Amino acid sequence: MRDQVHWRLFIRCRFTNVIRGGGLQMTPCSYDVVIAGGGLGGAALGRALAGAGAHTLIVERETLFKDRVRGEGIFPWGVVEASTLGIERLLLDDGAHVVPFWKKYTGPGHMDCRDLAATTPAHTACLNFFHPAMQRTLLDAAEASGAIVLRGAEVVGVEPGDVPGKAPVAEIRTNEGKHWAKARLVVGADGRRSVVRRTAGFSLNQDAGRLIVAGVLCEGLDAPEDAIHHFQCPALGQTALIYPIGRQRFRTYFVSRVGQLARPISGNGHIGEFVDACVDTGVPRDWFEHARVIGPLASYPGADSWVDHPCNGGVVLIGDAAAASDPAWGGGLSLTLRDVRVLLHRLLAGDDWEAAAHAYAFEHDRYYGALHRVHDWLAQLLYERGKIADERRARVLPCLAMEPDRMPDIRGMGPEAPSDETARRRFFVEDGILPRAERGTA
Ligand SMILES: Cc1cc2nc3c(=O)[nH]c(=O)nc-3n(C[C@H](O)[C@H](O)[C@H](O)COP(=O)(O)OP(=O)(O)OC[C@H]3O[C@@H](n4cnc5c(N)ncnc54)[C@H](O)[C@@H]3O)c2cc1C
């Protein structure tokens, strides 16, 4: 019913243009903002802009959201962003699961439990949810705020406003044919394979694939639901992560190096292999004893891809379209919310949206760059193989165990965690300073 209402709105807009005599293809509908993609980024931004009075169109390809292996845990620093945007409450009301602890297991009998609220700057925990439920809730909220949401429609191209005064235009395909929508700003929130990014002419940077992330949703795992369980085995170059998302459901990931396994673990016929890999990494086998698989098992490349300065000609990219961070480190949702908050605040601060979008893009380069640097250090430390990498691990891991604050706190502080050269040298124990415990016994 709701979809029909919005189709009518869209059609009415089309009609107006025809009546004015321009013809549908010559006179696109006009909006303040057209957003391609109704994922976390597009829906959260669309909701806020529409709520602030902007004439907002969100175009979302899917009509029904189904389970794909995607991020389902917002880190404590991202929860601050969610709260600022006013969506934390919406997610909680929809059954999002607050996870107060982070448990890191580094070998038999070695478990470190972090109380997140007690140890993070804003005293926040992790917030986990089922991704399709989150998308549905936020898109519904965007509609309730006054955004027009076209579901089952696709942005197939964008023409930037590449001369001053020319507005960008999005080409939209629906089951009725093609439509054009003009806007002060077109936002590409259409994920890691962004069509907006490609057709608006942004160049994509891509790291070499270093890791593979396999994931699946299980029900009834015998693991406590108050913690994210993080099993790290640097000797094998493997990690397993278990994110409880509420009601005894657990998103379970296995991370390994490219080339370590004969082939990525994908397809539900390979569940046994997936469980064995997690158990090799330290997950107790009996946790899986009564577990039931309730989603697809799929593998994804663990590598970053990003655009420098994601703004041009009235087109701006947010979320994975701007920078898809390596899913092995789990910061993508939080980064997406940072994008939404920064862009939104810039847009609401004045009338010059072109300048506001560029200011966002400058800021994006800084904070995404900081996360990217730290992720790279972690990948070097935990996954690289060979003599130099082994020596590095032998030097660094015992120091990190004694002085955890050598590790930039990217879960608690996000990009505000120190990531300059001093921080790098401290992390890799190249600062010539022995750990406090060793100094004490020297
Ligand atoms: C395997 C894996 C595990 C991950 N784990 C984590 C994690 O633990 N924690 C974390 O924080 N992050 C994680 N992430 C990353 C996280 O899922 C993303 O960063 C986040 O979903 C990005 O949100 P988005 O809104 O930018 O894009 P998306 O979530 O990709 O949403 C894009 C939306 O746009 C729609 N769309 C696409 N193209 C078009 C088009 N042309 N026209 C109209 N609509 C379109 C899509 O249907 C979709 O709804 C993981 C990612 C992967 C791949």
> Does a structural domain hold residue 349?
yes
Ligand 1 contact via 60 beta carbon (within 6 Å): yes
Residues 38 and 146 occupy one common structural domain = yes
Domain count, the chain: 3
DSSP string of 184-253, one letter each residue: EEEEE---TT-HHHHHTTPPPEEPPP-EEEEEEEEES-SS-TTEEEEEEETTTTEEEEEEEEETTEEEEE
| CATH number of the domain within which 278 lies | 3.30.9.30
Q: Which residue has the higher pLDDT, 108 or 12?
A: 108
333 lines ligand 1 (CB under 6 A): yes
Ligand 1 pocket test, pick from 229, 299, 320 with the greatest ligand atom count within 8 Å of Cβ, gives: 320
Q: Indicate which residue's Cα is closest to atom 35 of ligand 1.
A: 37
Backbone dihedral region for residue 282 (phi beyond 0: left; psi -120 to 50: alpha; all else: beta): left
Q: What is the pLDDT of residues 252-292, one digit of tens each?
A: 999 999 988 888 899 999 999 999 999 999 999 999 999 99
Give the pLDDT mean for 4-10: 41
- Which domain range does residue 283 map to? 96-126+211-302
Burial of 384 (0-12, 13-18, 19+ CB in 10 A): middle
Say yes or no: 26 and 6 in one domain.
yes
Tell me if 39 CB under 6 Å of ligand 1: yes
Residue 413, domain member (yes or no):
yes
Please check whether residues 18 and 138 belong to one and the same domain: yes
pLDDT in tens, 120-171: 999 999 999 999 999 999 999 999 999 999 999 999 999 999 787 789 999 9
pLDDT one-digit tens code per residue, 93-102:
999 999 999 9
| Inside any domain, residue 202 | yes
| 151 plus 201 within the same structural domain | yes
- Does residue 314 share a domain with residue 196? yes
In short, whether 327's Cβ falls inside 6 Å of ligand 1 is yes
Q: Answer yes or no: is 81 within a domain.
A: no
